[in-house]
Chain A
Amino acid sequence: MSQSESLEARVERLELPFNEFGVDPYGISKRHVRQALQMFALLYRYYFRVRCFGIEHIPARGRGMLVGNHSGGVAVDGAMVLTSTMLEMDPPRLAQGMVERFLHNFPVSSLWASRTGQFTGLPEHAKRLLEDDRLLMIFPEGARGTAKLYPQRYSLVDFGTGFIRLALQTRSPIIPFAFLGGGAAIPTVFNARALGKLLGVPYVPITPYLLPLPLPVQLEIHYGEPLVFQGTGDEEDHVIEGYVAKVKARIAGLIERGRAERHDRRSGRRLLP
């Protein structure tokens, strides 16, 4: 995007059916999206200095599923992917995440998640949003993915399979992406599950400096070419698992390619952790 275009103008250009109060039928509010974007854009541009590649692979209109790896113990990856589609696409699009259930249990997080279109990861939500030609953001690793420790930051844990059935049922393209750097920004050394249970969350990531506050590490997002699978969504599990393996392999490939490119770019300079 041109740096001169205001964030407000970007939000105004969202092709969502806002009513006279600036609210769409899912409760997404222009005001809340604008305010969230103002904060995320600062993080995106100046704190994480995010580099985004392959944004042209995301369809400008129509349904689509951004499917990628979790990177980092808290939702920095989701927030930066959302910011990338708002800042780098023309026209901007709002990526709607399928978030963990606990997020809607808490005050403030429930409100902001709802008003910015980040809904609980239920099949009903995903199906309806795709049928409404929205752009979904899915992390098939789920909470297991954010629980990755620093040494496993570039690995992928098991993927759920529901997203493939949804893609087949709704005939939605899957845009794979790799998110790099989140594991270094929040270098989790331990997941405090007992503390998490006490707080009503799956776990609390513990870093060498205790709190899971992200370090100013440069992040990268690599979008790949869309994958389109043919089928009805009623296929046998082994067929679905085959498709899942293809998506996972594509994301793993994007991670490796991204790491290699970054290495080439920075060889001779300080490497990213």
Chain B
Amino acid sequence: MRVLIPGIAGGIARKLALRLHEAGHQVAGVDIRPWEEARELGIEVFRGDVRKRAAEDVFRRWRPEAVVHMATVTAFTVPGAERGRINLDGTKAVFDHCAAHGVKHVLFVGRHTFYGAAPDSPLYHSDDEPPRALESIPELADLVAADLYAATALWRLPKVTTAILRLPYTLGQPGTGTLASFLKGRRVPLVLGYDPLFHVLQEEDVVAALMLALQKELRGIFNVAGPPPIPLSVIVRETGRMGVPLPAPVLRMLLGRGGFPKLSVGALDHLRFPIVVDNRRFLEATGFEYQYSVADILRLYRESAPVPRG
């Protein structure tokens, strides 16, 4: 199978590309970021923006059969309006090209934060739930919009088998990603009086889940999760960090100062309320079994991102 991965230079995308290549698939990618060693590894990377004309040429000339769209970004990596353009316009471009150039299968790799964090939400979000509490976390709006737009392909593009996958936070080795960045420092802020559950998944398990989704030619919307969720305080403790519980108004003032990570004010809700997903539909469709327990994941993270000294 010929698999094209927009956003291939990201950590998980690289692992997926290598795994697909090892499994005998032809793999290429599009990214504005470099991946110098890719060619030596037998993977073709086209440098460029997925929204630009050159990217369409890749679809036209390379003729992928499957596309794994991973070229979306979070507020942690790209601030402001540009993030919205990458996430929304980029997703539209990918689906337009898939429809125009005969791609049979598309995976949209979304995030479980789609559902939002709110006190009156169900603890386990089913795949069919709408996003909530967007007004409190506006930084999620463009990712949610991209996810919803991708889902329109399910009826707009009946010839393209589309799967929307909502993945939890990745953690472990090599210690990158939204949650990993949040945990980087010695002290990790917590909201006093709250301790939300968090889902974590090791990168190797993420790759395994994506491989299964491709292999099973999934169609529809699927929550992906591994081990059951655990309280944020356990994650902080087991990764060797020191949790600093502060009242929400105090924490709001301290974000980005005194060694605390820079977070949006809206993201504080996520430090109070859980975002946990019901992954039964994905398990039934793919038979996915995670390999890394929570203890494994936290140990790997602690080893790969040790507590900063001093």
Contact = CB atoms under 8 A, between A and B. Distances in A.
Interface string B114-138: 0000011011101000000000000
Given A106-B193, A114-B195, A23 B122 contact: no
B230 interface: yes
Contacts of A120: 119-120
A25 B293 CA distance: 13
B12 interface: no
Contacts of B49: none
Contacts of A104: 119-120, 273
A20 B293 CA distance: 10
Interface residues of A, number: 26
Interface string A99-110: 001001111111
A100 to B, nearest CB: 10
Contact of B193 (A21, A27, A110, A128): A110
Contacts of B230: 19, 21, 23, 27
Main secondary structure of the interface of A (DSSP, over half): mixed
Contacts of A109: 193
A83 interface: no
Interface in A10-54: 19-21, 23-27, 29
B231 interface: yes
Q: Which of B122, B124, B272, B295 has the most CB of A within 10 A?
A: B122
B123 A119 contact: yes
A85 B253 CA distance: 44
A99 B45 CA distance: 54
B79 interface: no
Interface string A183-211: 00000000000000000000000000000
A107 B193 contact: yes
Nearest to A106: B193
B288 to A, nearest CB: 16
Nearest to B191: A107
A21 B229 contact: no
B295 A128 contact: no
B194 A111 contact: yes
A112 to B, nearest CB: 9
Interface string B193-207: 111010000000000
A119 B197 CA distance: 13
A46 to B, nearest CB: 29
Interface residues on B, range: 20 to 34
Q: Which of A25, A101, A106, A120 has the most CB of B within 10 A?
A: A25
Contacts of A228: none
Interface string A103-140: 01111111100110001101011001000000000000
B122 A122 contact: yes
A25 B225 CA distance: 12
Given A104-B120, A107-B192, A110-B272, A25 B228 contact: yes
Contacts of B228: 19, 23-25
A119 B122 CA distance: 9
Contacts of B197: 27, 114
Interface string A207-238: 00000000000000000000000000000000
Contacts of A128: 122, 124, 278
Contact of B194 (A19, A110, A122, A124): A110
B133 to A, nearest CB: 13
A20 B194 contact: no
Contacts of B194: 107, 110-111
B189 interface: no
Contacts of A23: 228, 230-231, 234
B294 interface: yes
B295 A20 contact: yes
A119 B272 CA distance: 15
Contacts of B123: 26-27, 119, 125
B238 interface: yes
Contact of A108 (B124, B193, B231): B193
A114 B232 CA distance: 13
Which 10 pairs from chain A and chain B are nearest by CB? A107-B193, A25-B228, A124-B122, A108-B193, A104-B119, A27-B197, A105-B119, A101-B120, A21-B234, A111-B195
9 contacts: A19-B230, A23-B231, A27-B197, A107-B248, A110-B194, A110-B272, A111-B195, A119-B123, A125-B122
